[in-house]
């Protein structure tokens, strides 16, 4: 997959291999194939690695995320994302990359600094 998913002015922080999991019958179970999660300065994208973007993907804006943190799921590295509509997304993250994914999500959630003084325009 190339960078054609980026919008104008958007750039990528990181790319991760993830899998949605859910708590069922006393254990964490994967709910499908491994996916690609890409964190940009404007959104979190989760889509099939071999799918044809942009048909099947989740596009999560920073304003939709209340909190994200690293957790242990199924004895493996994972993350929990609490959304504003009271839903929680549980994701396994491949190769102990959960901390990095959470760091990138936190970077995405921080609003860009605005200058206190407007720059002078040359006439």
Whole-number Å distance between alpha carbons of 58 and 61: 10
Instruction: Please state the pTM of the whole predicted model.
Output: 0.85
Q: What is the CATH number of the domain that holds 82?
A: 2.30.29.30
CB-based contacts of 63: which residues, under 8 Å, 6+ apart?
Answer: 84
Least-confidence region, from 1-10, 34-43, 106-115: 1-10
Q: What is the DSSP string of 46-89?
A: EEETTS-TTSS-EEE-GGGEEEEEEEEETTEEEEEEEETTS-EE
Tell me, yes or no, whether 116 lies in a domain. no
Domain count for the chain, please give it: 1
What is the domain range of residue 24?
11-109
pLDDT digits (tens, 9 = 90+) for 19-70: 999 999 999 999 989 999 999 999 999 988 775 555 668 899 999 999 999 9
Tell me, yes or no, whether 1 lies in a domain. no
């Amino acid at each position: 997959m190339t960078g054609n998913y980026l919008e104008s002015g958007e750039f990528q922080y990181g790319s991760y291999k993830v899998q949605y999991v859910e708590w069922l019958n006393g254990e964490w179970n994967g709910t499908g194939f491994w996916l690609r999660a890409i964190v940009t300065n404007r959104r979190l994208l989760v889509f099939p690695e071999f799918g044809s973007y942009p048909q099947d993907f989740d596009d999560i804006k920073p304003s939709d995320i209340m909190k994200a943190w690293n957790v242990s799921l199924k004895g493996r590295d994972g993350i929990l994302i609490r959304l504003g509509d009271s839903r929680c997304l549980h994701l396994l993250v491949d190769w102990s990359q959960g901390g990095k994914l959470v760091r990138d999500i936190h970077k995405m959630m921080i609003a860009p600094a605005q200058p206190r003084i407007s720059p002078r325009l040359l006439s």
